[in-house]
Structure 1
């Protein structure tokens, strides 16, 4: 990216309320540069420069495709979010695995879905994972987790012994079987947002995506018969025949629920509002937004009127860290 385009990108981020440099969010915690180093495994200047040369990034193995979002008209009976009054909104989607290895095996359990829903005047981005359990409640825990997991068994044991949230995450992942398709995975936005209600109240909630065709997992025997790279071809072949569809919900908090800690799960009994449906069909794959999807970032706090971020430190650290990573890849 030339200097003019880079400056324009940064200015856009600033105009949307995102700071590129370390903000007060990080005052007593880790800077965005430190967080990116922890994720990338680049703790010193030599490894950092080497990472820049190969354009090191998290979720390195992934691909982009496209579709549409169809809002649920009944949502307006509860929430005051004008963005969802549009009939159909274009989507750019990126499906990926976690980690910096672009050759990671698809046989692991982790699945990630990021979306850009670009309306007439506003946009809404999502960064989601197939695990509702998050491993860190603050930036220090996040930094420790990303640093220690790269140290192998010894580092993982340190996390188990010293960070209960990391142990809970590891315990959950052990029980999570690999899904047969990106299309048959549930996805969760582990962070909370604040939604404006018609009566003037502010309702905290979290996003979740439920596959219309259901969750389909693989047995070990089925998994052993698959190649290391089956997920991309499977989804792109599927959507030539029919769209992959998810119902998007907001799970609403009740008084007393922790909204600023993504490691705290809310009871399944909490009310859910149907926001609409995500349809991934590849219909816009030839458009520049899809073809250049890998070059940008998905900004989870780029929000339309009626939605605001919570005070969750993990949420508010995401976009500055994404921008730091983006700049290093140029």
Structure 2
């Protein structure tokens, strides 16, 4: 993949997503509704076996976490998909990100396939319903995408962010101090166990119910997750976000995240909080997964659209949907 591939079709992708899910100015294109929290992360000793990344060497690192609702409508009810974007603040002033979903797979394996998917679902008239016939025709000839739709349709919804397991849908290359390479998939595993419920339950509750639950929970105790690495073996797919690795792969927990309190863009000093999953540090590298590569361009364009970019230097906190 070339660097320019990170921006291929970004404008088209955002436009087509807006066509299907609606356009809500001032909000992210996807995971539009979210809340920010602060905390710390501390890697375990075994993390060094796999990576020399600065934030995974054992010192306590400040973090922020954005928990979010799936979809592009910030006013919709919660469903089975929620997000967890973690930002690690490094001693030298840099940041790096780990972006995960409550779902294990993405909807497409190539940029062209994703463009085809969102194009097939475009309403027949502006503001109309999803073009179900077009979507069904696309799924009929793209079985990998159909499999992801079926997997997501069968998933339970969260009862709490703090009882949800999150998954990075992409593989990454971890390099240790000896330049040994390990391919991994990352997971956040809640210490309070995983709990779920039927998605329909959430349609009878407030649209911000899981944010309220998290805020109340944090008044009495922190919420903790462990970072678990799923260790790849030769032949495991590294560039296909629609494909799981075989069951039984070794899993190693390499650190603990502790979420302590709500925070805000004002407190963090960043009104955009753009969580680009390819903003990495030495010791962690992106694979050639084309969906991972395109996310930088899509995230940058979405951030510019919702904020006005350099044209709008309004004070922090003045934008909706942060």
TM range (shorter): 0.7 to 0.9
Greater shift in the superposed pair: 193-202 or 316-325: 193-202
Q: Does 1:41 align with 2:23?
A: no
Confirm or deny: 8 A CA contact 1:203 1:253 kept in the other structure.
Answer: yes
For normalisation by structure 2, the TM-score amounts to 0.84
Alpha-carbon shift at residue 255 of structure 1 (Å): 0.6
Q: Residue 104 of structure 1 corresponds to which residue in structure 2?
A: 76
Give the structure 2 partner of residue 229 of structure 1. 208
Indicate conservation of the 8 Å contact 1:66/1:290, yes or no. Answer: no
Which of 182, 189, 209 is 1:203 aligned to?
A: 182
Q: Which sections of structure 2, spanning at least 5 residues, go unmatched? A: 124-129, 309-322
Q: Partner of 1:63 in structure 2?
A: 35
Runs of 4+ in 1 over 6 A off after TM superposition: none
SS at match of 2:138: helix
In 2: Cα distance, 1:286 partner to 1:221 partner: 30
* Matches of 2:49 and 2:181, distance apart in 1: 15
Q: CA deviation at 1:55?
A: 5.0
- With over 3 angstroms needed to count, the CA separation of the structure-2 counterparts of 1:221 and 1:112, relative to structure 1, is closer
Q: Check whether the contact 2:238–2:289 (CA below 8 A) recurs between aligned residues.
A: yes
**More displaced 10-residue stretch of structure 1: 125-134 or 156-165:** 156-165
- SS of 2:247's partner is coil
Q: How many residues align?
A: 298
TM-superposed CA distance for 1:296, in Å, is 2.9
- CA gap of 1:142–1:289, structure 2 versus 1, over 3 A, is farther
* Local SS of the residue matching 1:41: helix
CA distance in 1, matches of 2:207, 2:76: 8
Aligned CA RMSD, in angstroms, stands at 2.6
Q: Distance in 2 between matches of 1:221 and 1:317?
A: 33
Which of residues 138, 142, 166 is equivalent to 1:187?
A: 166
Task: Spell out the pairing of 1:220-299 with structure 2 (5 A cutoff).
Answer: 223=202, 226-282=205-261, 285=263, 288=266, 290=268, 292=270, 295-299=272-276
Equivalent residues of 1:177, 1:218 under 8 A apart: yes
Q: Secondary structure at the match of 1:165?
A: helix
Q: 1:306: which partner in 2?
A: 283
Of 313, 321, 324, the residue aligned with 2:298 is 321
Unaligned runs of 5+ in 1: 1-17
The correspondence for 1:74, drawn from 40, 43, 46, is 46
Q: Which residue of 1 aligns with 2:126?
A: none
Q: 1:229: how far off?
A: 2.7
How does 1:143-158 map onto structure 2 within 5 Å? 143-151=115-123, 152=130, 153-158=132-137
Shift in Å, 1:146: 2.6
Change in CA separation of 1:222 and 1:171 when aligned onto 2, cut-off 3 Å: closer
